Amino acid sequence: MSGKARLTVRALLLFTVAAVALAALLAAAGQEIAGERFGDDHARAWLAGCGVSLVASLASGLGVWIMSGSGASGVTAALGSMLVRLAVLGLLGAGTVVVFGPDVRPFLLAVAASHLALLIVDTGFLLAVVRAPAIERQG
């Protein structure tokens, strides 16, 4: 396995752990607050919203990882990952609302909050993958 492949696999694993940990933290905190203040329906909607954002984030990261192996430029990987993330977020979010019918306001608030928080992890992963060739050349 080449140096870049090892780096990107390590970065993918780190990204996955960080995204799951952050989403779990947001879900637990938001579910506790929503459950105490507004009831179980809001708590379930919050949990569903964080789950939708996590799946979209992981799909985006997987897209970046796949594109990095194909030799795509950093800009292409960034745009592709945004497209994947927004498509999964929109489709899965709409499907969740239609099928499970969570209370829409806390669901959308959770999607927005967790989406913004997970963008930090996504951006870090994208930068690590895009900069991987430069790191390899220096080493």
Range of the domain at 112: 3-138
* 78 class by beta-carbon count within 10 Å (0-12 exposed, 13-18 middle, 19+ buried): buried
CA distance 21 to 38: 25
Structure tokens, 66 = 């796949």
Q: What is the pTM of this model?
A: 0.85
pLDDT confidence of 137, banded at 50, 70, 90? very low
Q: What is the mean pLDDT of the chain?
A: 85
Find the mean pLDDT for residues 31-35.
81
Number of domains present in the structure of the chain: 1
The structure tokens 């752990």 sit at 17
